[in-house]
Amino acid sequence: MTRNHVGSARAVFDPFPISKFSQKDASGGVSLFSAQSSNSIKISQKKVSTKIVSVMATPQSERKPSTTGSVKTGMTMTEKIFSRASEKSQLSPGENVWVNVDVLMTHDVCGPGAIGIFKKEFGNDAKVWDREKVVIIPDHYIFTTDERANRNVDIIRDFSHEQDIKYFYDIKDLSNFKANPDYKGVCHVALAQEGHCRPGEILLGTDSHTCTAGAFGQFATGIGNTDAGFVLGTGKLLLKVPPTLRFVLNGEMPDYLLAKDLILQIIGEISVSGATYKAMEFVGSTIESLTMEERMTLCNMVVEAGGKNGIVPADATTFKYLENKTSVPYEPVYSDGQARFLEEYVIDVSKLEPLVAKPHSPDNRALARECKDVKIDRVYIGSCTGGKTEDFFAAAKILLASGGKVKVPTFLVPATQKVWMDIYSLPVPGSGGKTCSQIFEAAGCDTPTSPSCGACLGGPKDTYARINEPQASVFFLVCVSTTNRNFPGRMGHKDGQIYLASPYTAAASALTGFVTDPRDFMH
């Protein structure tokens, strides 16, 4: 894999880096948008465990072309995507440009509102700009008796039929998802599996985790109903070109870590607003070694740092994944060597340890082993973040290695129908041919349920595995979850205590009934 053009990832690696964030100011790194400087001030007040930050080098300040001796104005890959989509040869962060949208995705929660605005603004008889570029995926509130939720699926179905939408992944028989061959499940995973994510393109979706698709080297971000209504009618949207933060992740990934640990590390470092309005570009030898699903996990949670988009350069891994998934030609783009980055962070992955984000914020980072005394009540494995095939493989691997039984209810919610099938059919690597479902059953987990967003975001009261009650005891219900957010009330009851973790850590915790470092079950 030669990606020298991404290059210049100067591995400034200080064995004893001091990464207190007050240095961010000293470096003069925050320069493009003075309004953002307040972030640095706030971050410097955060209490960050020094055990953890010691693997991250001091952020490097912006490198202007003039300082590199180049006369050509380099662009980041995010800027290049904007450049192509806006038909401008050159642009810089801060510019507002009209971009042509390649794919617009919406789902059952925001689709009805976006459709309402589209009809109001463009007329009742209006047609969407391109019936093949609108992807509509019911996934949020599907297996519920909530009448309004059911009605919302009807609304997107009626609209899809009326507009002859080519990619509408319908579900009608709620009693048995397998009776619905078109039904996929969680939109961000389905988009990838169905070939809607392609390098160099612009993907917008009415969901904040649309940024997941940045794993494919494209610009992908979440928008609201009103913007989506505009895109439905025009295929365009006015967007501001974001400046880019670059994260260089080097070193061999220890076998007890997953991409979830990497992104929790980064969010813990820069805070839940550290990347607000910014692109987060991930490069380095570790990133190159990640599978597509792991890259998706990484990009999925950039919004938890406030990021506008996350992006990973496309490479052989990307192209291989896309084989036989799409017939649409695509053209990858890469950051120039002279590209300007607002800041650059260098992380030595080999020194990281399994992490969690404690309640009630995704940046409330701690080492899993620091939380070993936290008694838990349940474990949840699912969502766009942690409900992919490889996430279940990872959980199964820990359960199998222990040979034991889970001590707390362990809920498994495959993201999509394909993931569900993989759980029941694919042999877990190194298991001697056992499937995830066999391993889960032997360990005493709940039977994998119907694919959907499930209880990741609470949802209607009858949602499977939703936190409906604070525990009857004096303590609040504690859940270790492979999902993405742990704000109060995220999974239902607002007193629920959610520890975000990797599938390894979640499975290890299920086995002990406490937050547990997965290394306890590895050799």
Contact residues for another protein, defined by CB under 8 A = 33, 35-36, 38-39, 42, 94, 96, 98, 109-110, 112-113, 115-117, 120-123, 140-141, 146, 148-149, 152, 155, 206-208, 210, 222-227, 230, 233-234, 236-242, 272-273, 276-277, 306, 308, 360-361, 457-461, 485, 487-490, 492, 494-495
Minimal distance in Å, beta carbon 345 to another protein?
20
- Nearest CA to 188 out of 221, 233, 236, 161 is that of 221
Min dist. Cβ of residue 231 to another protein (A):
10
Residue with tokens 């180049």: 70
Name the residue nearer to another protein (CB basis): 281 or 294.
Answer: 281
Nearer to another protein, 169 or 277 (CB): 277
CA distance 31 to 72: 21
How near is the Cβ of 55 to another protein at its closest, in Å? 25
Q: Report in angstroms how near the CB of residue 220 gets to another protein at its nearest.
A: 12
Query: How many contiguous H segments (helices) and E segments (strands) does the chain have?
Result: 18, 18
What's the token pair of residue 15?
Answer: 């064995």
Choose between 117 and 322: whose C-beta lies nearer to another protein. 117
Which of 40, 45, 48 has its CA nearest to residue 18? 48
Q: How far is the CB of 466 from another protein (least distance, A)?
A: 9
CA dihedral 231, 232, 235, 238 (to 10 degrees): -10
Query: How many whole angstroms separate alpha carbon 502 and alpha carbon 514?
Result: 15
Smallest gap, in angstroms, from Cβ of residue 230 to another protein?
A: 5
The residues near 202 (Cβ < 8 Å, ≥ 6 apart) are: 81, 85, 99, 100, 101, 102, 103, 218, 219, 220
Report the distance separating Cα 144 and Cα 492, nearest Å: 15
Give CA separation, 269 vs 46, 264, 333, 363, in Å: 10, 8, 28, 8
Q: Is residue 24 within a helix (H) or strand (E), and if so which, with residue range?
A: helix 22-26
* Alpha-carbon gap, residue 111 to 234, rounded angstroms: 16
Pair 370, 49: CB distance under 8 Å? yes
Smallest distance from the beta carbon of 42 to another protein, in angstroms?
6
Q: Which is nearer to another protein, 434 or 495 (CB)?
A: 495
Nearer to another protein, 230 or 440 (CB): 230
| 3-state SS track over 377-420 | CEEEEEHHHHCCHHHHHHHHHHHHHHCCCCCCCEEEECCEHHHH
Looking at beta carbons only, is 224 or 337 nearer to another protein?
Answer: 224
Q: Under a CB-based contact definition with an 8 Å cutoff, are residues 75 and 221 in contact?
A: no
Q: How far is the CB of 432 from another protein (least distance, A)?
A: 41
Instruction: State which residue, 253 or 477, has the beta carbon closest to another protein.
Output: 477
Residue 336 identity (one-letter amino acid): D
Burial 444-480 (b: 16+ CB within 10 A, else e): bbbebbbbbbbbbbbbbeebbbbbeebbeeeebbbbb
Residue closer to another protein by CB (options 250, 271) is 271
Between 301 and 347, name the residue whose CB sits nearer to another protein: 301
Q: Which is nearer to another protein, 18 or 238 (CB)?
A: 238
Choice between 233 and 518, CB closer to another protein: 233
Instruction: Say if CB 480 and CB 380 are below 8 A apart.
Output: yes
* Residue among 198 and 466 whose Cβ is closer to another protein: 466
CB of residue 479 to another protein, shortest distance in Å: 15
Antiparallel, parallel or unpaired: β 478-481 and 410-413:
unpaired
Nearest distance from C-beta of residue 208 to another protein, angstroms: 4
* Dist. CA 430–CA 383, nearest whole Å: 25
Q: Minimal distance in Å, beta carbon 4 to another protein?
A: 31
User: How far apart are alpha carbons 430 and 193 in whole angstroms?
Assistant: 25
Helix, strand, or coil here: 8?
coil
List Cβ neighbours of 158 (8 Å cut-off, separation of 6 or more): none
* Closer residue to another protein, CB minimum distance, 217 or 496: 496
Buried b (16+ CB within 10 A) or exposed e, 193-226: bbbbbbbbbbbbbbbbbbbbbbbbbbbbbbbebe
Radius of gyration, CA atoms only, the chain: 22
Nearest approach, Cβ of residue 419 and another protein (Å): 22
- Minimum distance from residue 39 beta carbon to another protein (Å): 7
